[in-house]
Structure 1
Amino acid sequence: MAEPAVPVEPRRLILLRHGVTGWNADGRYQGQTDIELAETGHQQAKAAARALATTYAVTRLVSSDLMRARQTAAYVAEETGREVAHDPRLREVSAGQAEGMNRAQIYERFGEMPASWEPHGGESWPTVAARFSAALHEVAETVAPGETVVVVAHGGAIRQGLAAFLGWDPSVVTTLAPLTNCAWIELVARESTHGLIPSAPWRLASYGMGAPIS
């Protein structure tokens, strides 16, 4: 009689957007300007941290090195007892001359909403997707069965990096709703008892999950 299959403990990646900042509330493009969380952002981060610690056995934390992400990650670290590693590749897109502006000011300055910030002293979306997904691949390669790693970053960079990481066409990004502050995405490894499935090792398990402020 054949031995029964041994259940494989899932590997998980959680991509968490940072809490709200004053610039978020004002509709101003932050890019890589180092803005701190607003008071509501701290409350959001606390709620998300509690929810993640309750739902998942978090084994590691990786964060963008920008302050709003670092502060958010610190709450997850407090709830889970894990230290945070910081990676600048997880930063938001650099919006160059547009940082600090709202949409109306951008239209007044540039005449339209640029498809790329690169001509205005910032980055292109393919550049963001490449650096973010490279960082995510490095993390994913070290996730062991049963581990859950939380990656704290930024809305635009997460969506671009997610598409690149999963091998999607970049146009798919436009079909993804923007992540609200402190919402998260869950990725689960597709594997058998012999390891990851090479054709599609990770899949999107949930998108835009969140926790209410108590």
Structure 2
Amino acid sequence: MRRLVLLRHGRTAWNDAGRAQGHADVALDDVGLAQAKEVAPVLAALRPVAIWSSDLARASGTADAVAAESGLTPVLDTRLREFDIGPNRTGLTSEQYAAAHPEEHAALLAGEIDAIPGRETRDDVLARFVPALTSYADTLGEGETGIVVSHGAALRVAVPAFLGWEGDPGESFGVLANCGWVVLEHAASTWTGGVERWRLTAWNRVVTS
């Protein structure tokens, strides 16, 4: 069996305030740092052979905590970034965005993403994210685990696409908690007639005290 563990970054002050981040390079706050340190030994116990991370500070800071427990050095990859949400949305709460840019906000609610300047579509994100996951999966040998540290919205669309699911089932997934993680395993099952494939085995696992 091969395994990919996909971890959302810890909390930031912008998360706490409900401010949209996108590609803004916001660092972990004190709570986020504590979350990263708490999850690190749990994931290190899986004996990962590699850690890949978005280069944005909130993800790379989380990856650094896991790496310190695992004896590894994270590999930073811009393909693992969150959705680029455009300059007008970045840093604002939903209410502030609606007040400052009502036409863009209405387009967002209507799913008319192409009408929003600078905003990535789901297809844009998948075009960079899924090849990244595929390349990591291909480096893992039998019995090995790799950890990917990224962002909530990007992971929610990338996981079903990586698994080959049709449509956009990620909308049916719950929101990943800060430092919540996803487990994908590549193994044979009786459901697939003994054929090995990647499967989702856990969504939004969190450390429990």
Shorter-chain TM-score above 0.5: yes
Q: What residue number does 2:198 align with?
A: 202
Q: What residue number does 2:142 align with?
A: 145
Per-residue deviation, residues 161-209 of structure 1 (Å, max 9, x unmatched): 11210111232011001101000000000248xxxx9976200011100
Question: Where does structure 2 lack aligned partners over 5 or more consecutive residues?
Answer: none
The equivalent position to 2:92 in structure 1, one of 82, 101, 117, is: 101
> CA–CA distance in 1 between the matches of 2:18 and 2:9?
15
TM-superposed deviation, 1:113: 6.3
| Residue identity opposite 1:133 in structure 2 | V
Do 1:61 and 1:150's aligned partners in 2 also have CA atoms closer than 8 Å?
yes
1:182 aligns with 2:182: no
Question: Where does structure 1 lack aligned partners over 5 or more consecutive residues?
Answer: 1-9
The equivalent position to 1:38 in structure 2, one of 21, 29, 34, is: 29
> CA–CA distance in 1 between the matches of 2:106 and 2:9?
27
Percent of residue pairs bearing the same amino acid type: 39
> CA–CA distance in 1 between the matches of 2:74 and 2:148?
10
> CA–CA distance in 2 between the matches of 1:201 and 1:131?
21
> CA–CA distance in 1 between the matches of 2:68 and 2:128?
28
Q: What residue number does 1:52 align with?
A: 43
Do 1:98 and 1:120's aligned partners in 2 also have CA atoms closer than 8 Å?
no
Please provide the CA RMSD for this pair: 2.0
Do 1:116 and 1:123's aligned partners in 2 also have CA atoms closer than 8 Å?
no
TM-score, normalised by the number of residues in structure 1:
0.87
Do 1:29 and 1:100's aligned partners in 2 also have CA atoms closer than 8 Å?
yes
Do 1:35 and 1:67's aligned partners in 2 also have CA atoms closer than 8 Å?
yes
TM-score, normalised by the number of residues in structure 2:
0.89
| Residue identity opposite 1:84 in structure 2 | P
TM-superposed deviation, 1:23: 0.4
Q: Aligned residue pairs: how many?
A: 200
- Alignment partner of 2:168: what SS? helix
Per-residue deviation, residues 90-134 of structure 1 (Å, max 9, x unmatched): 000000021111111222223436135542212111111221111
The 1:66/1:144 distance shift into structure 2, 3 A limit, reads same
> CA–CA distance in 2 between the matches of 1:46 and 1:113?
39
Q: What residue number does 1:155 align with?
A: 152
